[in-house]
Amino acid sequence: MSKIRFGLIGYGAWGKYHARAIVKNANTRLTAIAARSEKTLAAARTDHPQAQVHADFHKMLTQPDLDVVVVVLPTDQHHEAGVAVLDAGKHLLMEKPMALTLEHCDALIAKAKENGQQLFVAHEFRLSSLWSKVKEMVEAGAIGDPQYALIELWRNPYRLGSEGWRYDINRVGNWILEEPIHFFDFARWYFEQAGDPTSVYARANAKRPDRPELQDNFSATLNFPNGAYAVISQTLSAFEHHQVVKITGTQGALWATWSGAMDRTLEPTFWLKYFDGENVKDIEITKITGEVYELEGQVEAVVRAIRDGTSEGTSGEDGRWAVAICLAAQDSVDTGKVVSLS
């Protein structure tokens, strides 16, 4: 069976890990890379001599030997690059957040349908052996009806990103779109049987009074139709990278945790505990987990979807929901009010 041929737009800190995941898969070939700076172009040529390296992603998209293209660019460039990929007749894997606005999300979804291409959004945490085990146990009824979740991240500050884009609010949109978006997606995923969320209330603050848009601490309550709710909380004023998911239900509870020196840690510590209403049990997670490893699972999911014609993986609609919740949460921070998600 022929290999799925990948192109990659963006070869910065995370672009390199996407490339690593593509090359590692036996069913894929990294055919082309587009980068902008001389530094990243040189690194791409050195790291992947088998790939054609371009300074202009539009030129890369004219290559006929591409099946799917991964976009790993600053958020303000997602819409333009995504439309170009789909118009070039390639499947699209878009890094989160899908886009800065719901209008741009809708445009990408419509373009993929119009052109008959698959659109995947990189909410790769869903592919984690740890976080997906939590989902599996919730779906199996291990805790009864889920009622409450705490999803928390304690970490060091964000890296600036190329040319400081992550600290430019016009390019990043808002900091809720940068990482809490993963946790809103988690909450909607874990509470799927309850229905889509109905409203959100959020608060945030910043260490620098001259840059209030750079929210170092953020917390939100996401409400669901049956009275269930999730608390999403993040701080960028701490150290290392520690993530926790706790879910309680009518018959039990789950507690999962992941820790590393940073988000790209290759040897993290992680565990999952289950309370059945009477006893606490350790649930064995045999496959190593972490964002770097989830990128590998994401490549596998894309390959299966393209070969089988299925919609496996996080869809454009899921990506749009995550953006919608983040924008509503920022509105809540700004207004101090509960914001409806209707």
Residues of the chain with CATH 3.30.360.10: 126-290+323-340
**Per-residue pLDDT tens over the stretch 266-310:** 999 999 999 999 999 999 999 999 999 999 999 999 999 998 877
**Confidence tier at 311 by pLDDT (50, 70, 90):** low
Long-range CB contacts for residues 35-39, cutoff 8 Å, separation at least 24: 35/10, 35/11, 37/162
CATH number of 126-290+323-340: 3.30.360.10
Count of residues making up the chain: 342
What pLDDT was estimated at residue 161? Answer: 82
Residues of the chain with CATH 3.40.50.720: 4-122
Short-list 296, 285, 205, 203, CA closest to 245? 285
**Per-residue pLDDT tens over the stretch 208-222:** 999 999 999 999 999
What pLDDT was estimated at residue 342? Answer: 81
CATH top-level class of 4-122? alpha beta
ω into 74 cis (within 30 of 0):
no
> What is the distance between the alpha carbons of residues 113 and 272, in angstroms, rounded to a whole number?
39
Tokens for 129, please give them: 């052996």
Place of tokens 């800190």: 13
Q: What is the dihedral of CA 306, 312, 313, 317, to 10 degrees?
A: 100
What pLDDT was estimated at residue 314? Answer: 79
Short-list 13, 327, 335, CA closest to 180? 327
Q: What is the dihedral of CA 26, 28, 30, 32, to 10 degrees?
A: 170
CB atoms < 10 A from the CB of 38, how many? 9
> What is the distance between the alpha carbons of residues 19 and 33, in angstroms, rounded to a whole number?
9
What φ, ψ does residue 232 adopt, rounded to 5°? -110, 125
Average pLDDT over the chain, rounded to whole?
95
> What is the distance between the alpha carbons of residues 72 and 298, in angstroms, rounded to a whole number?
14
- Give the global pTM: 0.95
30 versus 161: the higher-pLDDT residue is: 30
Q: Are 51 and 32 in contact (CB under 8 A)?
A: yes
Q: Which region among 105-119, 167-181, 297-311, 316-330 has the lowest average model confidence (pLDDT)?
A: 297-311
> What is the distance between the alpha carbons of residues 250 and 141, in angstroms, rounded to a whole number?
10
